[in-house]
Amino acid sequence: MKTKNFTYREMTLSSAQVEVPRETYQRSFNAQRARKIADEFDERIANEPKVSYRDGRYFVFDGQHTIAARKLLNDGNDLPIKCRVYFGMTEQDEAVLFAQQFGVSAPLSAGARIRALIFGGDPIATAFLKANNDIGIQLDYDQERGRNRIGCIQTALNAYCKIGEERYKEAMAILKAAWNGEPDSFRSENVIGITRFVDLYHEEYNPHRLMTRLRHVDPLSIYREGRATGINLAGYKKYLYQVYRIYNGNSRKHSLPLKF
């Protein structure tokens, strides 16, 4: 999504004036992170919180923990803070800029970033969300685990962008059906191996056979065997090979050629 240009100016606000929109795109407050910032605080290099003036209120979209750290250093009391205040932004605009921040003190998790981009209407992020929802998979933004919830969001998004929506949905539907959406089945190694296999052998493999063969192995086997394999394969190929091996089994009739 192309970043819009917004006017801003430096303003001094009371910490009591700013609000954090945690109900929509912001992450939860982390007291330990605020304390760490406070313990290492140096006024000479401190970043100014970024604030959006919207509907007569000030919403902080970058710097909530810096503000909290300043209050800790002031015995928990509110105090004046120099902020960079933006004008003319919608809440969706704020979410997109929040997702694009690169703060050194608190880098965004993939889940927090994608959630903010979805709220902000980013076309790739929203299409990715819909593709997963179409096949009954939820994005596990907060790594809570659970049936039909995918936590390796960046890995899945990378696969979606690399092989395209149609093949991504085909591969993930097979993964979901093979292990009934069990949490362990949505490991990044399974996502990598199965999506790459479906893409590479798309015109040759049998989806039902792949799903059935996967169903008869432990969902952790691709990870374990991939890590332990003595074959000299780098990166994703060691997990792709495990899916290839599972698919072929001992069958000569249904065996696929090694193409990687």
Q: Could you tell me which residues come within 8 angstroms of residue 193 by beta carbon, excluding any fewer than 6 positions away?
A: 222, 226, 236, 239, 240, 241, 242, 243
Neighbours of 157 (CB within 10 A): 21
pTM across the whole model:
0.72
pLDDT at 105: 46
Element (H, E) at 59: strand 57-62
Q: How far apart are CA 90 and CA 198, in angstroms?
A: 40
Positions in the chain whose pLDDT score sits under 50: 1-2, 103-105
pLDDT at 230: 65
pLDDT at 104: 44
